[in-house]
């Protein structure tokens, strides 16, 4: 029996190397909208978005290895990307719209070019851009990872502060589940490992990656977060160039949100995801 989840109907996918990845589904219909979270985050990132999209079609959000209720695994971008590929290939549906936030956008793009028969549309939410050198800076990655590691050691002390933040953004049942799973030593250590994996593997993973002829929406945050690197203007410009290079690409700006668009402007993600669902349903 699966433990109940406030985020949807729980289930599991077995990866090609035998690990179990936890996921939640909501809604019915096709294409299925699959949500890929950002660095160090689990399915809960999408709680405010998934339930609204699920009113129109089936949705699935999952925990990457070492996060939420999924089995741990060694870090590595290619392993993260093939895990997402395994989630799609194991599902009963055969057409998907992928929604990826931050690092999740890169993973979604990689799977889209590997599985063109499965991926019918992409929504990239303030995604990492491999053309920006700061994402490859290993010294910076070590410093950020050290911050995650320190937070992991201090997880118990940080819990009251993060509890307030989560209760401000989520209904009580979702907030309680997130507190128990995200504010933990294991989850924060996984976040540190993902930071290092991104710096060391991003260029190699995306080398020569070409998207199939599908609709792609590139959504940028419009506001600058605290001490944000790379600068917001640089990232938005890179997102715009990406959208312009894609034959069926669109660029949209979330004017009221910083990088945490799924929490600060979820309704925009809902609207853009449903536009893609409508477009691919007509094909």
Span 158-187, mean pLDDT? 84
CA angle 223-181-226, nearest 5°?
20
Span 12-41, mean pLDDT? 97
| Encoded tokens for 219 | 């959504």
Q: What is the C-alpha separation between 129 and 189, in angstroms, rounded? A: 24
Q: Is the pLDDT of residue 277 over 70?
A: yes
- Domain 9-135+210-281: give its CATH architecture: 3-Layer(aba) Sandwich (3.40)
Tens-digit pLDDT profile for residues 239-250: 999 999 999 999
Q: What is the C-alpha separation between 225 and 186, in angstroms, rounded? A: 26
- Could you tell me the sign of the dihedral formed by the alpha carbons of 158, 162, 164, 165, in that order? positive
Start-to-end CA distance of the chain, whole Å, equals: 38
Average pLDDT over the chain reads 89
Q: Are 15 and 45 in contact (CB under 8 A)?
A: no
pTM comes to: 0.92
Closest among 268, 253, 252, 250 to 214, alpha carbons compared: 250
Q: Are 276 and 219 in contact (CB under 8 A)?
A: no
Tens-digit pLDDT profile for residues 67-124: 999 999 877 899 999 999 999 999 999 999 999 999 999 999 999 999 999 999 999 9
Half-sphere exposure of 98 (CA within 13 A, CB side): 32
Among 68-77, 197-206, 228-237, 250-259, the range scoring the smallest mean pLDDT is 197-206
Tens-digit pLDDT profile for residues 71-82: 998 778 999 999
Residue ranges of domains in the chain: 9-135+210-281
CA angle 149-155-158, nearest 5°?
115
């Amino acid at each position: 029996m699966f433990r109940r989840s406030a985020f949807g109907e729980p289930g599991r996918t077995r990866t090609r190397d035998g690990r179990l990845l936890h996921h939640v589904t909501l809604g019915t219909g096709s294409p299925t909208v699959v949500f890929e979270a950002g660095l160090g985050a689990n399915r809960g990132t999408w709680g405010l978005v998934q339930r609204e999209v699920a009113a129109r079609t089936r949705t699935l959000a999952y925990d990457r290895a070492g996060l939420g209720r999924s089995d741990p695994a060694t870090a590595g971008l290619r392993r993260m990307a093939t895990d997402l590929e395994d989630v799609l290939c194991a599902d009963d549906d055969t057409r998907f719209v992928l929604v990826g936030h931050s690092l999740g956008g890169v993973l979604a793009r990689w799977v889209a070019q590997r599985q063109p028969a499965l991926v019918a549309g992409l929504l990239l939410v303030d995604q990492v851009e491999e053309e920006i050198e700061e994402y490859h800076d290993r010294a910076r990655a070590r410093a950020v990872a050290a911050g995650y590691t320190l937070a992991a050691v201090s997880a118990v002390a940080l819990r009251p502060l993060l509890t307030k933040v989560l209760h401000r953004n989520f209904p009580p049942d979702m907030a309680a589940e997130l507190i128990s799973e995200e504010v933990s030593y294991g989850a924060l250590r996984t976040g540190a490992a993902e930071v290092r994996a991104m710096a060391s593997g991003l260029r190699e993973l995306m080398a020569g990656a070409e998207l199939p002829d599908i609709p792609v929406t590139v959504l940028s945050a419009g506001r600058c977060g605290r001490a944000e690197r790379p600068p917001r203007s640089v990232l938005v410009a890179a997102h715009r160039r990406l959208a312009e290079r894609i034959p069926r690409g669109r660029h949209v700006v979330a004017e009221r949100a910083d990088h945490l668009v799924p929490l600060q402007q979820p309704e925009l993600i809902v609207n853009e995801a449903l536009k893609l669902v409508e477009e691919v349903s007509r094909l």
